[in-house]
Amino acid sequence: MSADEKSRSYIDAARDELQQYTNSLLRENEKLRAMSTALESDKRRLELEVIEARDILEQKEELRCAMTSFNSARSELLNELATAKRDRDAATQELDKLRAQVDQMAGDNEKYIAQYHQIEHVSSNLSNLYVASYQLHSSVERRTVLDTILEIVVNLIGSEEVAVLETDEEGRDFRMAASFGVDATRLNDANQGNARIVERLAIGELYIDDAGATDEESLTALVPLKIDGNVIGAIVVFRLLEHKQRLQPVDHELFELLAVHASTALYCANLHETKNLVAVS
């Protein structure tokens, strides 16, 4: 082989080697470019992740601030709620006190009303007793006195059956002097009539049955009329009026008043009538 051929062969070998090296460098460059592109993509991805992470951190910070504000507001609301509960409890206690006071005032008011009605009732009773006493002594006419006695028993006691008995001239037997709602023949001779009346006339004491008479023969009250301890007559009360179920304490007082004042009034009326008869004769 000549020197030119050797030289040409060496150059071709060097060229081939250089070409291979160049190709190798090109391949490596492509690899580097691919890696650079991948790194650039990773960089952009990481940058996005960083931005997203920052956004998340900012959102968490906002949430933390919001939570702090919420906890503060919640604590304030709890304090206000506790204050409201205390105010409610205080208001409830005050309301209970007011209710108790109202109940007490209502009870006192009912008591005062009851006392007022009682005082009014007592006043009315006293007025009735005064009127009855005045009426008994307002006349000395026998008929007027007898009618007044009947009127008092009928209107103030409330009886539908009442009679006034008197002793005869000998003072032994009783006869009916006046009546309201009682048949004249029923007590024409009291000594032969109702055994209860005979018994009570003999005793000569005030008799009162608070429950009231339940039948025609029963007695509600028998009021003896006495002068100096001697029985000169009696007021006999049978049935009460239908609307009056029983006697009241004021009725006892009225019977006691009649026992005294009706006796005197009837005695004076009889004396006045006797005096007039004597004067006429």
Q: Give the whole-angstrom CA distance, residue 11 versus residue 5.
A: 10
pLDDT of residue 171: 60
* pLDDT at residue 169 greater than cutoff 80: no
Size of the chain in residues: 281
Portion of the chain with pLDDT greater than 70, in percent: 87
Q: Are 268 and 140 in contact (CB under 8 A)?
A: yes
* DSSP characters over 79-141: HHHHHHHHHHHHHHHHHHHHHHHHHHHHHHHHHHHHHHHHHHHHHHHHHHHHHHHHHHTS---
* pLDDT (0 to 100) of residue 279: 74
Residue 134 · residue 257 · CB < 8 Å: no
pLDDT of residue 124: 75
CB 234 within 8 A of CB 191: no
Three-state DSSP state, 227: strand
pLDDT at 197: 78
Averaged pLDDT, 59-79:
90
273-277, long-range: CB < 8 A, 24+ apart: 273/142
pLDDT for position 122: 64
Domain topology for 137-280: Beta-Lactamase (3.30.450)
pLDDT at 201 (0 to 100): 81
Which helix (H) or strand (E) covers residue 235, if one does?
Answer: strand 230-237
- Calpha distance 174→192 (Å, rounded): 10
Confidence at residue 90, expressed as pLDDT on a 0 to 100 scale = 92
pLDDT tens-digit readout, 76-103? 999 999 999 999 999 999 999 999 999 9
> How far apart, in Å, are the Cα atoms of 73 and each of 62, 65, 76, 213?
16, 12, 5, 84
Q: Residue 164: its pLDDT value, please?
A: 93
- pLDDT of res. 217: 62
Q: Is the confidence at residue 132, as pLDDT, over 60?
A: yes
Identity at 146, one-letter amino acid code: L
Domain boundaries, the chain: 1-101, 137-280
User: 218 falls in which pLDDT band (50, 70, 90)?
Assistant: confident
Confidence of residue 210 (pLDDT cuts 50, 70, 90): confident
- Name the burial class of residue 209, with classes exposed (0-12), middle (13-18) and buried (19+) by CB atoms within 10 angstroms of its CB: middle
Average pLDDT, the chain: 84
What single DSSP character describes residue 245?
Answer: -
Range 36-52 average pLDDT: 88
Give SS3 for 281.
coil
Residue 213's pLDDT band, with cuts at 50, 70 and 90, is: low
Q: What is the mean pLDDT of residues 3-30?
A: 80
Does residue 24 have a pLDDT over 90? Answer: no
Question: What band does 34 get if pLDDT is binned at 50, 70 and 90?
Answer: confident
Q: Are 180 and 162 spatial neighbours (Cβ–Cβ below 8 Å)?
A: yes
pLDDT at 97 (0 to 100) = 92
Split at pLDDT 50, 70, 90, the class of 198 is confident
Residue 6 pLDDT greater than 80, yes or no: no
Confidence at residue 86, expressed as pLDDT on a 0 to 100 scale:
92
CA distance 74 to 90: 24
In 3D space, the residue among 214, 230, 231 whose CA is nearest the CA of residue 222 turns out to be 231
Q: Does 216 have pLDDT greater than 60?
A: no
Residue 178 main-chain phi, psi, to 5 deg = -160, 155
